[in-house]
C-alpha cells in the first residue's frame, strides 16, 4: 500500500483549522450555496487580476472568507499587500461590491466586502505559490524559484516548508515531479498547524501544478 494522501486542511478541521465559509443551509439549497461561494471567490480573484497591474506577479490574496446570514453576505479578503487594491482608489472596493451585486443579482441581500491585511504575507501558501508561479512564467529555473520561495518563508518566521512542482518543468518533454523541503513538516500530526495550497500555473509549455505546505506552529 502506498501512503494515502489527504488534504491537510480537511484533515485538521475542528482542531487547528476552521471553515472558510460559515453559513447554514437546508439540504435542498446546499449545493447552490456552495456554487455561490465559488462564484464569489472566482469573481474577486478575476477582478483583482484585471484591475491590478502587479509588478511582482503576486496578487497576494491569502484567503477569502465568506459568512452568510439571511439578509447579508460578509466577505473578508485576506491580502498580503492590500495597498495594491486600496492605494490611490478607495472606491475600488465599492466598485467591486457593485459589480458583484450585479453579477450575482442579489436583490434582497446586502453584500459587504472587507479587506484584512495578512501579517508576514509569505507565511501564506497561496501568496507563496503565486510568487513561484510568477517566477516560472518568467522562465526562471524552477530550482532557483523554489530556493527563493523557501528563503522568503524562513524570513517570515515559519517552522518548516515543503514545495512541490509537477508537470513539464523547464519545458522538458517528459513531465516530472520535483519537491524540496526545509525544516519540519509533520503532516501526520493533527495538532500541528499546517497551511496548504494547490495552485495551477499556465506556462507556455503547458500546465504546472504547485503545492505548498507551510508548518506554522504546534498548537
Same domain, 104 and 130: no
Same domain, 149 and 63: no
The span from the CA of 212 to the CA of 195, in Å, is 8
* CATH number of the structural domain spanning residue 194: 3.30.1140.32
Average pLDDT over residues 97-108: 83
Residue 84 has pLDDT above 60, yes or no: yes
Average pLDDT over residues 25-41: 93
Residue 62: which pLDDT band, with cuts at 50, 70 and 90?
A: confident
| Any domain includes 56 | yes
Write down the pLDDT at residue 10.
93
Same domain, 111 and 160: no
Same domain, 149 and 167: yes
Same domain, 102 and 191: no
**What are φ and ψ of residue 203, in 5° steps?**
-105, 180
Average pLDDT over residues 16-33: 92
Contact 180, 213 (CB under 8 A): no
Write down the pLDDT at residue 107.
75
Domain boundary among 115, 139, 160: 115
Write down the pLDDT at residue 209.
95
Q: pLDDT per residue over 165-219, tens digit each?
A: 999 998 899 999 999 999 999 999 999 999 999 999 998 889 999 999 999 886 5
* 67-81, 97-111, 173-187: which is most confident: 173-187
Of the listed ranges 52-61, 63-72, 125-134, the one predicted with least confidence: 52-61
Domains of the chain: total: 2
Same domain, 111 and 19: yes
Answer left, alpha or beta for residue 155, where phi above 0 means left and psi between -120 and 50 means alpha: alpha
Same domain, 134 and 175: yes
Same domain, 128 and 190: yes
The span from the CA of 100 to the CA of 219, in Å, is 37
Same domain, 92 and 130: no
* CATH number of the structural domain spanning residue 107: 3.30.300.20
Domain that holds residue 93: 15-115
**What are φ and ψ of residue 132, in 5° steps?**
-65, -40
- Residue 3 per-residue DSSP state: P
Write down the pLDDT at residue 126.
92
CB neighbours of residue 155 within 10 Å: 11
Write down the pLDDT at residue 176.
94
| Any domain includes 1 | no
Q: What is the mean pLDDT of the chain?
A: 87
Same domain, 153 and 123: yes
| Any domain includes 5 | no
| Any domain includes 3 | no
Same domain, 129 and 54: no
Domain boundary among 65, 97, 115: 115
Amino acid at each position: 500500500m502506498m501512503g494515502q494522501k489527504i488534504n491537510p486542511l480537511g484533515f485538521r478541521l475542528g482542531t487547528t483549522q476552521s471553515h472558510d465559509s460559515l453559513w447554514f443551509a437546508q439540504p435542498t439549497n446546499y449545493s447552490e450555496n456552495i456554487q455561490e461561494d465559488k462564484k464569489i471567490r472566482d469573481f474577486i480573484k478575476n477582478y483583482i487580476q484585471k484591475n491590478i497591474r502587479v509588478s511582482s506577479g503576486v496578487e497576494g490574496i491569502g484567503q477569502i472568507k465568506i459568512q452568510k446570514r439571511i439578509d447579508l453576505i460578509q466577505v473578508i479578503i485576506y491580502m498580503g499587500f492590500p495597498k495594491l487594491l486600496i492605494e490611490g482608489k478607495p472606491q475600488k472596493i465599492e466598485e467591486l461590491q457593485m459589480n458583484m451585486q450585479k453579477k450575482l443579482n442579489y436583490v434582497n441581500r446586502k453584500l459587504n466586502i472587507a479587506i484584512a491585511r495578512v501579517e508576514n504575507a509569505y507565511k501564506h501558501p497561496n501568496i507563496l505559490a503565486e510568487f513561484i508561479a510568477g517566477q516560472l512564467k518568467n522562465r526562471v529555473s524552477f530550482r532557483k524559484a523554489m530556493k527563493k520561495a523557501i528563503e522568503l518563508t524562513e524570513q517570515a518566521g515559519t517552522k518548516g516548508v515543503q514545495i512541490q512542482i509537477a508537470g513539464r518543468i523547464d519545458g522538458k518533454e517528459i513531465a516530472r515531479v520535483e519537491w524540496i523541503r526545509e525544516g519540519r513538516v509533520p503532516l501526520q500530526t493533527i495538532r500541528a498547524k499546517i497551511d496548504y495550497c494547490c495552485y495551477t500555473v499556465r506556462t507556455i509549455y503547458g500546465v504546472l501544478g504547485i503545492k505548498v505546505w507551510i508548518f506554522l506552529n504546534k498548537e
